[in-house]
A and B are shown apart, each in its own frame.
Chain A
């Protein structure tokens, strides 16, 4: 792996990790609002996928969206302000955690309806194909979305119309509070789509270079006008379904598992080992990022709440 690429991946992962940890704290202090779903454990997938996309490629995400938005280029200041419900938020405080949008960076949106983003991604991919500009759409979803009707319908249609879309499933083995075994008899999501005949693969989502390499191949083909592809990344959800989830279902042995599967720790170790980065530089990235996050918190806190009069002006586009 190129040194610059590895270092950029590490920086993005640190940004997501520290952003999410800070948001968790802010939620406990009731300074961010609503239902908050953190993506700690999935940073490597967001970084490896979004890091290879252009601004004019589209990304759709689900309810666990902060990391995808940040990795796609959304400014952390405006994302933090959005979570705090401020006027300077990326959606002026009208979207919130589950509805982040940053069209400037091709982040076409997160959605709170599990599976509801899959059809939207097909629509964007169809316009990309009709325009013939080599743009690609990526849609992130969890294994819980696979049991939704939208999944079968969308996979069928994307295959039928050969749309330039990469389905990126973050299979963390949990659909909200319930394990995958209680939702489906099929363990691997890549097996669910087997009959449609397009390329699909399952990788360890904690092995960031593996995610990067596999996605790189799919992306190149999708850019050349082929598709769809499915990349299943087996990840570990470090936090509850949402902040405040009592996590009664959590296995106490999971702490040990996390130590093995933490994508940031693994990537740092690997990067030092392969001489992609010096040990001191890795710590420097973390330090710089921590400052960046505090700046985002200050920016958000200093921003006013939106004027209530804004709401009726945005119901219809002019």
Chain B
């Protein structure tokens, strides 16, 4: 084991992949300088600026260029600095990368990794703090990965680079700089396999990215009262390890889904739909969703803190799930679409 951080794990994994395969190239704004979070630090020094290429601020074209390089036999890892700017690259991701294999009848494949990061908490305002992963899960042909810790980030990035399909790799800026122990070298983590982080019999908490840590914190607190929560991190949204999630929900009969994205249209809605279809007869309570309210991310510190869901909200949602039917409980949902 070595002590490292999420963001260092990313940089080290990229370096290893570039050493092993000269078709791996890294592209993006400021990547040769390491980027604002140092996720590509040291790469240009080791591999040169032909393989580690700073690009102009042209997200759409840079993403498309990476798609073109991928379908011509290279393995580009392109960085979109903030997921908010993926809006500018969506045409290439949605209309080209996701469909090239299909539309060509299997002639083309697009072994592309698009790394980006999202999430609030750094007072960056509404255009540098969003969680937009659910958009990407709506497009057949893309894979969507969302690691919650440094070890999974390293393991999943290895798999993403090896994958013959376009993989959107969604990191979380709030997780970047925590010290974490990681095996050296970190083992590869297969895309499409969830991870049970805590066993419990009373309720299943399915949490994404930053909310995984909050789910564990809530579970720890509830355990003091004798409530045993099972905490599962899907790790990849597409493909989804529904089996592991459904088995847990069949065992506990209750489920809480937690992510930082706005609840309305968030990936939690898809998870809830799939879980109720797989485990309807086992459910003792409606599936509860924890997510952000239906507003843009506010910038002022007390407002942003109130906006971000965390352990407290997960705990409250668990209580609603557990007490459902005992009294006139209201579903935990602060994410309803507001009337105009």
A157 within 8 A of B: yes
The segment from A15-23, A115-123, A226-234 that touches chain B is: A115-123
Whether the pair A157, B61 counts as a contact (CB closer than 8 A) is: yes
| Chain B neighbourhood of A154, CB < 8 A | 61
| Chain B neighbourhood of A120, CB < 8 A | 64-65, 67-68, 71, 96
Distance of B136 from chain A, by nearest CB (Å): 14
Whether the pair B141, A315 counts as a contact (CB closer than 8 A) is: yes
How many chain A residues have a CB neighbour from B under 8 Å?
Answer: 45
A43 to B63, CA, bound (A): 32
B50 within 8 A of A: yes
Whether the pair B141, A102 counts as a contact (CB closer than 8 A) is: no
A113 within 8 A of B: yes
Bitwise interface map of B from 51 to 92 toward A, beta carbon under 8 Å scored 1, else 0:
101011010111111111111111010000000000000011
| Chain A neighbourhood of B300, CB < 8 A | none
A197 to B210, CA, bound (A): 48
Whether the pair A127, B61 counts as a contact (CB closer than 8 A) is: no
A99 to B99, CA, bound (A): 10
The segment from B38-46, B106-114, B304-312 that touches chain A is: B106-114
Whether the pair B102, A119 counts as a contact (CB closer than 8 A) is: no
Distance of B256 from chain A, by nearest CB (Å): 30
A101 to B105, CA, bound (A): 9
A47 within 8 A of B: no
Whether the pair A126, B69 counts as a contact (CB closer than 8 A) is: yes
Whether the pair A90, B105 counts as a contact (CB closer than 8 A) is: yes
A314 to B98, CA, bound (A): 11
A193 to B65, CA, bound (A): 19
Whether the pair A150, B64 counts as a contact (CB closer than 8 A) is: yes
Residue of A nearest to B25 (CB): A130
A314-B61 CB under 8 A given contacts A120-B71, A127-B74: no
A16 to B102, CA, bound (A): 26
The segment from A103-111, A167-175, A184-192 that touches chain B is: A103-111
Whether the pair A109, B102 counts as a contact (CB closer than 8 A) is: no
Bitwise interface map of B from 140 to 151 toward A, beta carbon under 8 Å scored 1, else 0:
110100000000
A118 to B63, CA, bound (A): 11
Whether the pair B69, A157 counts as a contact (CB closer than 8 A) is: no
Whether the pair A127, B69 counts as a contact (CB closer than 8 A) is: yes
A127 to B75, CA, bound (A): 10
Whether the pair A123, B72 counts as a contact (CB closer than 8 A) is: yes
| Chain B neighbourhood of A113, CB < 8 A | 91, 95-96
Residue of A nearest to B69 (CB): A123
| Chain B neighbourhood of A102, CB < 8 A | 107
A28 within 8 A of B: no
Distance of A119 from chain B, by nearest CB (Å): 3
B261 within 8 A of A: no
Q: List 19 A-B contacts (CB under 8 A).
A: A93-B105, A108-B72, A116-B64, A119-B68, A120-B67, A120-B68, A120-B71, A123-B67, A127-B69, A150-B60, A150-B61, A153-B56, A157-B58, A157-B61, A157-B65, A314-B106, A315-B101, A316-B141, A316-B164
Which B residues form the contact surface with A (CB < 8 A)? Answer: 25, 50-51, 53, 55-56, 58, 60-74, 76, 91-92, 95-96, 99-111, 140-141, 143, 164-165
